[in-house]
Amino acid sequence: MTGTIPPIRVGLGYDTHRLGPGGPLRIGGVDIDCELHSIGHSDADVLLHAITDAILGSVVEEDIGRLFPNNAQENQDRDSTDFLQEAMRRLRHRGMEIVNLDCVILAERPKMAEHIDSMRAVIAEITGAPVDRIGIKAKTGEGTGPIGHGEAISARAVVLVYET
């Protein structure tokens, strides 16, 4: 390869959790009033977990599972905003900031549309990225597989970061 490498990087994140009875469902840092919740060691916020891993991946850091193991007592019921804040600390330590973030939530229910703006605002506050650079979409499983049968929820995130 010739020339210099541009001071940009991409990170990809993914997370899935089983769903169980009883709410609320925490996703994107927002509690959604519904009859389901994500099952996990922490608060099981799939969207914040996917975003955290995307950011960590962009600067080639350990993933969320190695930084915050699910067998560590201090992570029991832990707020996933802590994970995202640590990812941002590591990103900034490398002299990087977010250009934009694009995410997809995969869930049969509840419907996410009315909550997406609140999620974007929470994520913007934590990351310092302008809200107009945070994209979130929601898709269903169309009645197929664990997502479509309402047994699981998943999220995917991709982030573009640049050297400041």
Is residue 68 predicted with pLDDT exceeding 70? yes
Tell me the residue range of the domain where 150 lies.
Answer: 8-163
**Which pLDDT score, from 0 to 100, does residue 4 have?**
82
Mean pLDDT of 32-59: 96
Domain presence at residue 1? no
Domain presence at residue 40? yes
pLDDT per position as a tens digit, 74-100? 989 899 999 999 999 999 999 999 999
Domain presence at residue 81? yes
Is residue 2 predicted with pLDDT exceeding 80? no
Domain presence at residue 2? no
CA distance 52 to 163: 18
Tokens of 23: 């709410």
Mean pLDDT of 102-131: 97
**Which pLDDT score, from 0 to 100, does residue 5 have?**
78
Is residue 6 predicted with pLDDT exceeding 90? no
Domain presence at residue 69? yes
Domain presence at residue 12? yes
Q: How many domains does the chain have?
A: 1
Domain CATH for 15: 3.30.1330.50
Domain presence at residue 3? no
Domain presence at residue 138? yes
Residues in the chain: 164
